């Protein structure tokens, strides 16, 4: 009996196995029927595609956008309709500042994908470029909600908060970007910018250097270091940083502009001229290059070139007060008084509340002997300029009154002119009439004006003209001495 039961169990087991086997076969057939397209698509995927996507994403999260372009190009050769390749291209284009192309990609994908973290990120970057800060943050946050491991999105939000001057929030998001991706050099650059804007030089310096440790081609960080060196008056270090950027990217105009401006600031005028000409070879419509050229030529006593370049600047920015004012005083330095008046009038139409226009007009009228009008211009200028500049206006009054033999008024103005040039003290100076004949002191005022504008050669020339009339005038002698020192003619 026991043996029979065992046989029954065995038969039942065999039957169960057969039933299960049949069920499994049927299930497989049904599954194959329902998922035939999926199975085929899996079979068609080239393993290299997954690898290329991963490599592109790896470079994207580190901000290496040029490498992203290369990988996406390879992906699109395999599959021209790769959505993820186009999404990454959109972010990469936005990352290098080509926002029009990024927007084109957004438009091309709007009916294909709706809720992709990369697409939201791309939209956020484009909106940031358009200064739509709140909308940009919203898009980047959507990207983060879909993918928490999203360093570029954190970075973009951080940069937006810098633009909004919300520096604590900027530091928070930029730090999150570095936590998500320690290899994202631009996030450390962002922190460097954020701290520099707050005057935290040490923190800024450390973060810029960290960015360059990760990527020697992080040029914004290098330019940030140059700005710090400039502020510390370590000019050669700053020049070295700018030159490294220019050497790597010869056509990068911002680096050349900063370098030219620094050369102008420290008195290396020929180098400033050379850099500015290089900029114009790259883009002849760069207004700052013409402005630097104009100023540099004026400092080297080449007012013909100064006038030519400032006119080129005005052709690009005709509503510039600075351009028209500089044209007026350059023409005055050349002796073209009528043209100078026209340019100064144009500057005054642009901004009538600038005291330096009135001073220039006062000097012109002093040259022409219109003393009453000169006095009115100087009084009006005193009302428009900060009190710290009143010593300059008072020395102009001093020479105006000397031209009219008004010694009491000139002495009163002289007492208020302490420091019109660094170190000048009038305490021991007393003006006494040496004749009844009136002689203009306009050349002395022009010499002072030229010296203050760093036109040392012009100042010396005007001093010499003044000393022919008044050989012992202490103010003129002092200005000439200062100008000769600045010219290194010790």
* Per-residue pLDDT, 111: 85
Pick the range with the lowest mean pLDDT from 106-110, 179-183, 195-199, 284-288. Answer: 106-110
**Which residues, at least 6 apart from 297, have a Cβ–Cβ distance to it below 8 Å?**
269, 273, 303, 305, 306, 309
Chain centre distance of CA 349 = 29
Q: What is the pTM of this model?
A: 0.82
Instruction: For residue 480, name the pLDDT band (cuts at 50, 70, 90).
Output: very high
CA distance 155 to 212: 17
Query: Rounded mean pLDDT of 16-25?
Result: 44
- Is residue 231 pLDDT above 80, yes or no? yes
Helix/strand/coil for 72: helix
Tokens describing residue 105: 């990609």
Ramachandran region of residue 335, left (φ > 0), alpha (ψ -120 to 50) or beta?
A: left
CA distance 246 to 252: 7
CA distance 464 to 135: 64
Condensed to tens digits (0 to 9), the pLDDT of residues 359-400 reads 999 999 999 999 999 999 999 999 999 998 999 999 999 999
Query: Rounded mean pLDDT of 58-72?
Result: 94
- Is residue 120 pLDDT above 50, yes or no? yes
- Is residue 300 pLDDT above 80, yes or no? yes
Domain extent listing, the chain: 417-490
Instruction: Classify burial at 433, counting beta carbons within 10 Å of its beta carbon; exposed 0-12, middle 13-18, buried 19 or more.
Output: exposed
Rounded-to-10 torsion of CA 385, 388, 390, 394: -150
Nearest to 466 by CA among 487, 483, 486, 489: 483
Nearest to 158 by CA among 145, 146, 141, 142: 141
221 and 185 Cβ atoms separated by less than 8 Å: yes
CA distance 32 to 227: 66
DSSP secondary-structure letter at 434? S
If one counts every other C-beta atom within 10 angstroms of the C-beta of residue 466, the result is 27
152 and 63 Cβ atoms separated by less than 8 Å: yes
Tokens describing residue 39: 């199975």
- Is residue 28 pLDDT above 70, yes or no? no
Tokens describing residue 474: 């202490």
242 and 268 Cβ atoms separated by less than 8 Å: no
CA distance 207 to 201: 10
Instruction: For residue 101, name the pLDDT band (cuts at 50, 70, 90).
Output: very high
Condensed to tens digits (0 to 9), the pLDDT of residues 428-452 reads 777 666 555 668 899 999 999 999 9
Report phi then psi at 409, rounded to 5: -65, -40
Tokens describing residue 67: 């490498």
Nearest to 92 by CA among 131, 50, 56, 117: 56
Tokens describing residue 199: 């005057």
């Amino acid at each position: 009996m026991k043996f029979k039961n065992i046989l029954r169990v065995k038969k039942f087991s065999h039957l169960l196995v057969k039933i299960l086997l049949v069920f499994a076969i049927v299930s497989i057939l049904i599954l194959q029927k329902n998922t035939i397209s999926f199975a085929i698509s899996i079979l068609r995927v080239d393993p290299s595609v997954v690898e290329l996507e991963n490599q592109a994403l790896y470079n994207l999260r580190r901000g290496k956008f040029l490498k992203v372009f290369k990988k996406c190009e390879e992906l699109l050769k395999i599959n021209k309709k790769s959505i993820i390749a186009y999404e990454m291209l959109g972010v990469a284009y936005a990352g290098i500042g080509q926002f029009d192309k990024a927007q084109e990609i957004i438009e091309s994908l709007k009916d294909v994908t709706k809720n992709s973290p990369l697409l939201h990120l791309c939209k956020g970057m484009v909106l940031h470029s358009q200064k739509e800060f709140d909308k940009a943050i919203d898009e980047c946050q959507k990207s983060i909600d879909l993918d928490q491991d999203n360093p570029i999105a954190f970075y973009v939000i951080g940069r937006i908060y810098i633009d909004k001057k919300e520096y604590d929030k900027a530091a928070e998001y930029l730090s999150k970007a570095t936590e998500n991706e320690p290899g994202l050099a631009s996030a450390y650059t962002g922190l460097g910018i954020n701290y520099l804007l707050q005057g935290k030089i040490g923190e800024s310096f450390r973060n810029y250097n960290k960015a360059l440790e990760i990527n020697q081609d992080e040029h914004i960080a290098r330019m940030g270091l140059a700005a710090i060196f400039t502020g510390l008056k370590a000019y050669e270090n700053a020049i070295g940083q700018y030159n490294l950027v220019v050497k790597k990217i010869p056509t990068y105009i911002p680096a050349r502009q900063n370098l030219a401006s620094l050369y102008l600031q420290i008195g290396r005028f020929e180098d400033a001229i050379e850099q500015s000409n290089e900029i114009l070879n790259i883009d002849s419509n760069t207004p700052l290059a013409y402005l630097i050229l104009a100023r540099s030529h004026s400092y080297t006593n080449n007012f013909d070139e100064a006038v030519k370049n400032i006119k080129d600047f005005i052709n690009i920015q005709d509503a510039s007060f600075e351009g028209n004012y500089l044209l007026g005083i350059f023409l005055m330095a050349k002796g073209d008084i009528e043209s100078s008046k026209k340019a100064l009038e144009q500057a005054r139409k642009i901004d009538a509340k600038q005291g330096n226009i009135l001073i220039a007009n006062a000097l012109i009228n002093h040259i022409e002997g219109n003393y009453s009008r000169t006095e009115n211009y100087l009084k009006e200028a005193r009302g428009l300029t900060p009190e710290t500049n009143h010593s300059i206006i008072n020395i102009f009054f001093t020479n105006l009154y000397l031209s009219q033999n008004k010694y009491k008024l000139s002495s009163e103005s002289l007492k208020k002119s302490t420091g019109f040039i660094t170190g000048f003290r009038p305490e021991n100076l007393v003006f006494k009439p040496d004749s009844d004949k009136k002689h203009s002191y306009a050349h002395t005022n022009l010499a002072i004006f030229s010296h203050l504008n760093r036109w040392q050669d012009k100042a010396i020339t005007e001093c010499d003209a003044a000393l022919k009339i008044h050989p012992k005038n202490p103010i003129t002698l002092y200005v000439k001495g200062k100008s000769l020192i600045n010219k290194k003619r010790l």
